[in-house]
Structure 1
Amino acid sequence: MSHETPVPDAETFLRELLIRTASAHGEHERDDLGGVYDEDWPRWYAAYMAQALASGGYTITRSTS
Structure 2
Amino acid sequence: MRETMPTCDPNGVYSVKRTCAELGVSHKTLMKYRKNGYIIPLNPGNIFRPKYSGESIINCWNRLIRI
TM-score bracket relative to the smaller structure: 0.3 to 0.5
Q: TM-score, normalised by structure 2?
A: 0.34
Structure having the larger proportion of residues in strand: 2
Structure having the larger proportion of residues in helix: 1
Larger Rg belongs to? 1
